A and B are shown apart, each in its own frame.
Chain A
Amino acid sequence: MTGIFLFSEDPVLAKQLLTPALALKGALDQPITALALDGATAADLAALGADTVLLLQSASGWVEGLGDAVTDLVRAATVVLVGGTQRGKHLAAHVAAKLDAGLTTDAKSLAIEDGKLVTSRILYAGLAVGVEELAFPAVATIPPRSYPTPEAAQTPGSVETVAVTDDIRVTVTGTTPTESSGVDISLANKLVSVGRGFRSKDDLPLAEGLAAKLKGEVSCTRGIAEDEYWLPIERYIGISGQTVKPDLYLAVGLSGQVQHMVGARESKIIVAINSDERAPIFEAADYGIVGDLYAVLPLLTAAITS
């Protein structure tokens, strides 16, 4: 087995994957092969340190259907890194099954020890951190923004075009891009995070007003986005959503279940506003107010202006 392979359909994430791949190259002394779906990304990856880039010519471009094709290309792999988008996770699981390989989902760290890939990841939705060792070949998915993009390489790699077969059993009949609010909550310094304590969508301006005063953004729990559709999916935080690290995380009317907090617990200061004194959010908070958000939020918003 020789070679470190990487793939993400997200061009930014693909470039970020090169950083851990280059570290693995140092540890294993094996070349990096990157797989790309478009020429521009292929050229970037070659410039940033991939020794070889395989530019896949997929007719459909449906990432989830490339499992068998990618498996054929990475058969020699020691380690395969895949960008941890939803499509990427699906593809990685297919490839890992075909390689008879272990796969760490959302790896937080990667190291080579005694001929194994040692990874850490979250367990029990955030209650614990598990360390696991994977025999080679090993696969890991890496969440977006885990690593910076590396500096340009001294000698750029080469790009080769490869024809690949799609999964023609699946017909994608329509795609509707998610309406993006253009807000990237992972970049916000201050977040006002909304939970089911809000009784209606009409009450969200309470949070928006506070966020505006703080020059921050509004984020939310899964239910607010997935079940109520009050806010876009890209705004929800947690194990199946975004991970954020703002200076201030103001949790309003949210209970603070571990599945949510795992995405916010690296915030610098956490503040809770909740009417239930026993809500778990208070254990996870630096400061808290036990009270009705409908009374507290207007007061807080006013207090910050003055």
Chain B
Amino acid sequence: MPKFLVLYKWTLDEQDIKIKSDDLSLDASRAKGKISDFDRNAIEEAARIVEAKGGSVDVLTYGSAAVKQSLKDVLSRGADKAYWIADASAETADAVVTAKVLAAAIRKIGPYDVILTGEGSSDQFNQQTAPRVAALLGLPCLSLVHKLDVEAGTVSVTRKLAVCTEQATVSGPVVVSVLSDINKPRIPGLKQVLGAAKKPNEEIALGSLGVSPADLQPKAVRRSAKGFVMTRKNVVFKDANPADSVAKLVSSLVSEGLF
């Protein structure tokens, strides 16, 4: 029966991040945390397979002290046990650091049959973690999966790329990143939320993973992040009779030289 590990990231909800008008810096002071959108698909996929065929779903996250807030949420979505690494290094971590920390943790708590990630994280959308973790652990990696089957140690997937769909199989442990269309994640009900409180979670101390201080230094160092502001005309027509709005729009577009 397959042992799944789902890697999930606790990110800021980008909808709550405001751009300061004076210097275009980002104000995340009122931003709430969320499980990175596509990671919910990864958790859901593991949970569905285990509910159908048996097995187990562990989840693992690396983040700042705030990741503790994610535990109830993640455990209500179908995970059996949550591992978490809370360390200030996560605030400056790039994909290099993140993959090293996650790979070291997997060496400690693993092995797993299938390690799942989302297609990309909502904040960074690096699309790097799955291939990097696989490379560091010496495992094969199947990315962008929209159909996943696990049968007696063989993992069969359909990958969806812009140019084609592709069927591939791997026997033995594998890292898989999933697309959002692989399933529709459940909305946890009261029962799941209450049940989550009884499920186990375990902190992994970063110091116990044998990751050196040098390994926690990012190779890609953020120099600045500035809000993108779009200046648009923002002319809105809302006449009771839509034909009036349409006429105004058409004459605006004519004066723009569009036709």
Using CB atoms and an 8 Å cutoff, list the residues of chain A in contact with chain B.
64-65, 67, 85-87, 89-94, 96-98, 100-105, 118, 122-135, 138, 167, 169-178, 190, 214, 226-227, 233-234, 239-240, 247-248, 258, 262, 265, 269-271, 277, 282-292, 295-296, 299-300, 303-304
Contact = CB atoms under 8 A, between A and B. Distances in A.
17 contacts: A65-B140, A85-B163, A93-B127, A94-B134, A96-B96, A105-B126, A124-B122, A125-B14, A129-B225, A133-B220, A171-B168, A178-B161, A178-B165, A286-B232, A287-B249, A300-B249, A304-B250
B136 A97 contact: yes
B242 A128 contact: no
Contact of A132 (B119, B160, B223, B245): B223
A97 B131 contact: yes
B152 interface: no
B237 A131 contact: no
A227 to B, nearest CB: 5
A285 B232 contact: yes
Given A173-B168, A287-B237, A100 B96 contact: yes
Given A98-B135, A240-B119, A290-B238, A123 B225 contact: yes
Dominant SS among interface residues on chain B: mixed
A170 B181 contact: no
Interface of B: 12, 14, 17, 19, 26, 94-96, 99, 119-120, 122-136, 140-144, 156, 160-170, 172, 179-181, 218-228, 230, 232-238, 242-243, 245-247, 249-250, 252-253, 256, 258-259
A177 to B, nearest CB: 5
A87 B161 contact: yes
A303 B19 contact: no
Contacts of B136: 97
Ordered nearest first, which 6 A-B pairs have the shortest CB separation? A102-B220, A102-B219, A93-B131, A97-B135, A97-B132, A93-B128
Nearest to B31: A124
A94 B232 contact: no
Given A86-B143, A123-B124, A127-B14, A284 B249 contact: no
B181 A67 contact: no
A176 B132 CA distance: 27
A128 B19 CA distance: 9
A96 B142 contact: no
A144 B120 CA distance: 19
Given A127-B227, A133-B220, A277-B238, A299 B180 contact: no
A169 B140 contact: yes
A295 to B, nearest CB: 5
A123 B123 contact: yes
Given A125-B125, A128-B227, A291 B242 contact: yes
B19 A127 contact: yes
B258 A269 contact: yes
